[in-house]
Amino acid sequence: MTAIQGIEVRHLDLPLIKPYALSYRTFESFEPYLVTITTSDGETAFGEQHISPGSSSETREGGWSFLTSSAEAIVGSDINAVFDRLSSERTQSPVAASAILNALDQLKEPGRWTPENDLRIPVLTAFSATTREQIPIEVNEKIELGFRTFKIKVGKDVKADRERVQIIQDTLKNRGMIRVDANRAYSVNDAIELSQVLDPGVCELFEQPCDTDDWDGNGRVAKASPVPLMLDEPICSIEDIERASMMPGVGFCKVKLKRFGSLGNLCNAIEKAHELGIQVVLGDGLGSDINCYLEALVSERYLDRAGEFNGCFKIQDDSRILEPPLKFDGGHMVLKKADSLNLNRRVIDAQTVRVAIYGETEN
């Protein structure tokens, strides 16, 4: 039996290079929970997840409470038993539970979650320019960096959004593709109005125009949109993917590790989507290096489109939590064969908001 000897839980505050604006919140920093598990046979593994206030009903305080109470209870227990227990309990705080489950994933199957070869995995880029003058400058800069897929956030003003998207499409032309993401902010009518400017030759998809629970409203937009719709926040289970697959005009599902709990569950979800004929986009743009690393490994095995696991590249260089940090080159995340995860203790100590330790965490 491999038992949990100790577990450390940290709440971090990682400042961003520049503010990251969504329709419901602008982030100046990411605040992930970092979990470190040490086992009785001397192994150590890490998990990290970020609860985004406003994205769901899960709160940071609720997540911290779940993590600390769970950590205290599982010290001394077998890793397989803990994995099964938390898998059944994770609906209480899904993102927080994923941080522990992802560390356990790596302890249960250590050889599966390291790169077998040198990898270059395409990622998309965030896009912030808003004016007719700024847009061509940023497009050209991002193309020069190697990006070919651009994430365009909309949802605050449909008239201004239409104008901005049109300028971006006209500027980009055949040099790349955009994904337009409303983060649940539009009414059905505004979403349909926005969709009519989307050019299938430049726009890959229209993401989550209406509220999470408004399946009917999102379905009406999907039928009217000239580009496929992608559902994001509603996709938390295989049942959700099955429901999406029956909606005319819905061509994509967004999947994230933090919504499916374990790496195995995430892989199963992607396989089911492919079986049902639904295309998949993978990645959490609010994650730090550990989450991005794990999602990138899954993406490389199942997908060939740009991933959205780019949150780590939004964090200031001196606040990256891995040593060395994940590398970027020419529009790709770069992972080296047999790379292992090593924490940058100096950064983590400096960026810790609070910490809780249970059991023995030093081997």
Q: What CATH number is attached to the domain comprising 88?
A: 3.30.390.10
pLDDT score at 340:
80
- What is d(CA 336, CA 354) in angstroms, rounded to the nearest whole number? 32
Q: Give 27's pLDDT tier (boundaries 50, 70, 90).
A: very high
Mean pLDDT of 184-205: 98
Check whether residue 138 and residue 282 sit in a common domain. Answer: yes
Q: At 133, is the secondary structure helix, strand, or coil?
A: coil
For residue 363, what pLDDT band results from cuts at 50, 70 and 90? Answer: low
| Co-location of 80 and 198 in the same domain | no
Tens digit of each residue's pLDDT (9 = 90 or more) over 32-73? 999 999 999 999 999 999 998 877 889 999 999 999 999 999
Task: Please give the pLDDT value at position 309.
Answer: 98
* Residues 271 and 155 reside in one and the same domain: yes
Q: What is the mean pLDDT of residues 192-220?
A: 98
For residue 45, give the DSSP letter.
E
One domain for residues 96 and 214: no
Do 129 and 81 fall into the same domain? no
Residues 217 and 325 reside in one and the same domain: yes
On whether both 156 and 298 belong to a single domain, the answer is yes
Are both 36 and 71 inside the same structural domain? Answer: yes
- 193 and 166 in a common domain: yes
Query: What is the predicted pLDDT for the residue at 60?
Result: 96
Quickly count: other Cβ atoms within 10 Å of residue 311's Cβ: 25
* 71-103 per-position pLDDT tens digit: 999 999 999 999 999 999 999 999 999 999 999
Same domain, 185 and 312: yes
Average pLDDT of the chain is: 96
E-strand ranges in the chain read: 4-12, 14-21, 26-30, 33-39, 44-49, 119-122, 125-126, 149-153, 177-181, 203-207, 229-231, 250-255, 279-282, 327-329, 332-335, 352-359
CA dihedral for 117, 317, 127, 140, sign (positive or negative)? negative
Closest CA to 139 of 166, 180, 176, 179: 176
CATH code of 278's domain? 3.20.20.120
Percent of the chain scoring above 70 in pLDDT: 100
Over residues 103-140, the pLDDT tens digits come to 999 999 988 999 999 999 999 999 999 999 999 999 99
303 plus 178 within the same structural domain: yes
Amino acid at 78: D
Predicted TM-score of the model (pTM): 0.95
Nearest Cα neighbor of 8 from 31, 32, 33 is 33
Residue length of the chain: 363
Domain identity same for 217 and 174? yes
Structural domain boundaries, residue 220? 119-335
Domain count of the fold of the chain? 2
